[in-house]
Amino acid sequence: MEKQPRIISLRLYTLAGTNTTRIIASKDLAEVGQPGTDAELAAIQGRHHFLRQGNGEVMVTLPLHDRNGEDIAAVRFRLKSFFGETEGNAVNRARLLLKQMQILCGSAEDLRK
């Protein structure tokens, strides 16, 4: 996050049961352990990415894949927006950050370290 000044916050979610998620990593340590929303559950299940824009920032939720391409977690990026930013720009910026994370995390066990 120090190398990416446009990141306002970042949260990492994993499954906490059949139909629930929970935060396992966050910039704000007080958020760790809190439940996620349906957006993170859908991202982990590989159905969608989610985007919300407003107030000079954009939130993008994407699935995190392991080295085999399996969805193992969801990542919510809150990024500083720029004038004229489109949904495609925001998702692409978040995907570039996600790819860097996927290189470091090859399996679900790596998330627990």
Q: For the chain, how many structural domains are there in total? A: 1
Inside any domain, residue 94:
yes
Q: 23-43 burial by CB neighbour count: b if 16+ within 10 A, else e?
A: bbebeeeeeeeeebeebbbbb
DSSP state of 87: H
CA distances from 22 to 8, 10, 25, 105 (A): 20, 14, 9, 18
- Domain extent, residue 12, equals 7-108
Inside any domain, residue 40:
yes
Is the per-residue pLDDT at 112 higher than 70? Answer: no
Is the per-residue pLDDT at 105 higher than 80? Answer: no
CA distance 91 to 78: 11
CATH classification of the domain holding 99:
3.30.450.40
CA distance 97 to 104: 11
Going by pLDDT thresholds of 50, 70 and 90, the confidence category of residue 110 is low
Inside any domain, residue 16:
yes
Inside any domain, residue 2:
no
Inside any domain, residue 42:
yes
Q: Tell me the per-residue pLDDT of 4-37, one tens digit each, with 9 for 90 and over.
A: 888 899 999 988 877 888 999 898 889 999 999 8
Inside any domain, residue 113:
no
Inside any domain, residue 1:
no
The one-letter code for the residue type at 107 is S
- Among 10, 8, 14, which residue's Cα sits nearest to residue 110? 14
Inside any domain, residue 97:
yes
Q: Is this prediction's pTM over 0.75? A: yes
